[in-house]
Amino acid sequence: MQYRPLGRTGIMVSPYALGTLMFATQVGNPDHDDSIRIIHKALDAGINLVDTADAYGDAEEVVGKALKGRRDQVVLATKVSRPMGTGPNQQGASRRWITTAVENSLRRLQTDHIDVYQIHRPDPATDIEETLSVLTDLVRSGKVRAIGASTTPPSDIVEAQWVAERRGLARFRTEQPPYSMLNRRVEREVLPLAERFGMGTLVWGPFAQGLLTGRVRKGRQNELRRAHLLRHLNDERRLDAVEQLIPVAEEAGLPMTHLAMAFTIAHPGVTSALLGPRTMAHLDDLLAGVDVVLGDDVLDRIDAIVPPGTDVGTLDQEYAPPALLTPHLRRRPLADRSAA
């Protein structure tokens, strides 16, 4: 396994990173011991970045158990801001909540520090200066080594960097956007911005939540576990693109999973791509592709199917700004809508 710099943090991480959502018993592997064996095999293979979140059910607890005796070998990342209860203050990026949530994550992870602490989704209700201020305090206390964010709009990335510099606060060192052969919009601004600001990127969804595993074909029954929950897993436009990408993999002599991972980590703005294995067989398949290199001819064919900087459809998990969710934020009052 080769290692890449995580932006300008000085931390070196593997291009393959281990995502842990599928180790949550509610949505993934119900056997903690089996999940721990998978984590250990990933570490033995040289993967040194493990990414989790407080909102991933009991995944933090599984990771905490797995890292006993191996914590120093791992760059441990987790996230905060998604709802963790029914109370109005059990979510978000306020000082009040982050101060509580980080202690809960440290306890579940059975560690005294988090290497990369990330804001899981933007919180437009909280001033970014408030968020950076509490994160700065966590860095100075030693509980957090570096801070980052996930699924952040480009303008918010720039604002956070500017506020940090102006106020002398810790700045976001990482960004975690979705990125795959089907979702390439981040190539327009997010990945170039990350390179400009010296940020590492831990991209999620390299297999498009299962569409790029080779298991899903148009006109056949979709057997993905979350197909009945997520609209984008049944999007005809995405399925059409998959049908065009499968021959590219076949002619390159590669499984779709290997094509998908090799494409994702080939971008110079990508530091690591998150794997999300649920079983040991899933991990074995992915590890078998660590030495795959895609030539320009293969990448050119992918570009012809899904042009650079474009998405095929919209991910259900994608962050939507308030103006897209609340009509009155994008509509003038009736009396002001006329040009006359």
pLDDT surpassing 60 at residue 227: no
Catalytic residue among 16, 56, 117, 179: 56
The overall average pLDDT reported for the chain is: 94
Whole-angstrom distance, CA of residue 13 vs CA of residue 102 = 23
pTM for this structure?
0.94
The answer, yes or no, to whether residue 193 has pLDDT greater than 70, is yes
Q: What is the DSSP letter of 17?
A: E
User: For the residues of 123-187, what is the DSSP string, one character each?
Assistant: -TTS-HHHHHHHHHHHHHHTSEEEEEEES--HHHHHHHHHHHHHHT-----EEE-B-SSSB-GGG
pLDDT in tens, 93-151: 999 999 999 999 999 999 999 999 999 999 999 999 999 999 999 999 999 999 999 99
Residue 232 is predicted with a pLDDT of 63
Which among 75, 5, 9, 7 has a CA at the least distance from the CA of 46?
75
Q: Is the dihedral of CA 49, 80, 140, 9 positive or negative?
A: positive
In the predicted model, is pLDDT for residue 31 greater than 90?
Answer: yes
Does 56 qualify as catalytic in the annotation? yes
Inter-residue contact 146 to 139 (CB < 8 Å):
yes
User: Residue 221 pLDDT > 80, yes or no?
Assistant: no
For residue 67, give the amino acid letter.
Answer: L
Please give the residue that has the higher pLDDT: either 230 or 174: 174
Is-contact 54 82, C-beta < 8 A?
yes
Residue with tokens 């080594």: 145
